[in-house]
Chains A and B, each alone.
Chain A
């Protein structure tokens, strides 16, 4: 099965930029989606198709994908951005078809 690797944690000061990586073999050839999950809540889609934002998601959230790494960038970080973040891809040759990354806990200092 396809494997997506994320750093367990990222710490960032308010107002600064957080970058969360998602590593996978030739992930640049796939579409990557990102979810935010706050404690006790369901995940929310924040980036889809590598870099598109659903309506209602702040422009501070952006994404990129190339080579073996996809990146979620959160600019001007706020306290409310503190959450777990998961990347996800769909891979027709994998079981499971939908693969989640290992998850990254973002802590706002």
Chain B
């Protein structure tokens, strides 16, 4: 069965960096895109971008350029989200989500359990 297992909660100080991992199993990792979705406390879902698991090419949504980096280690079927120069407003749950659906009708068919990143001094 498809599973996406994310790393545990993180507590960081402003200005620090964090790296969240998402380990996939139950399918061929390079056959599906991997997306990242943010959910701030009490707020809705916000798509951050995706990474092509074949080429490693990332695409970032508006508002997620500069401090956010998507990467892969295909040898262990794992995607990573790194956030640098953390700010208090980065406090959120971050989800990885597998890209599903046909062309021009994409969705997220499987999700990781989420990683809470808290930024506080």
Contact = CB atoms under 8 A, between A and B. Distances in A.
Our verdict on whether A and B bind, yes or no, reads yes
B105 A31 contact: yes
Given A42-B111, A42-B113, A100 B45 contact: yes
A86 B35 CA distance: 17
A10 interface: no
Interface residues of A, number: 27
B61 A103 contact: no
Contact of B106 (A90, A95, A102): A90
B27 interface: no
A1 B107 contact: no
A98 B109 contact: no
A33 B45 CA distance: 13
B73 interface: no
A31 B101 contact: yes
B61 A44 contact: no
A33 B49 CA distance: 18
A90 B45 contact: no
Interface of B: 35, 44-47, 49-50, 59, 61-62, 95, 97, 100-102, 104-109, 111-114
12 contacts: A1-B62, A33-B108, A42-B111, A43-B97, A90-B105, A95-B62, A96-B46, A97-B50, A97-B59, A98-B47, A99-B47, A101-B44
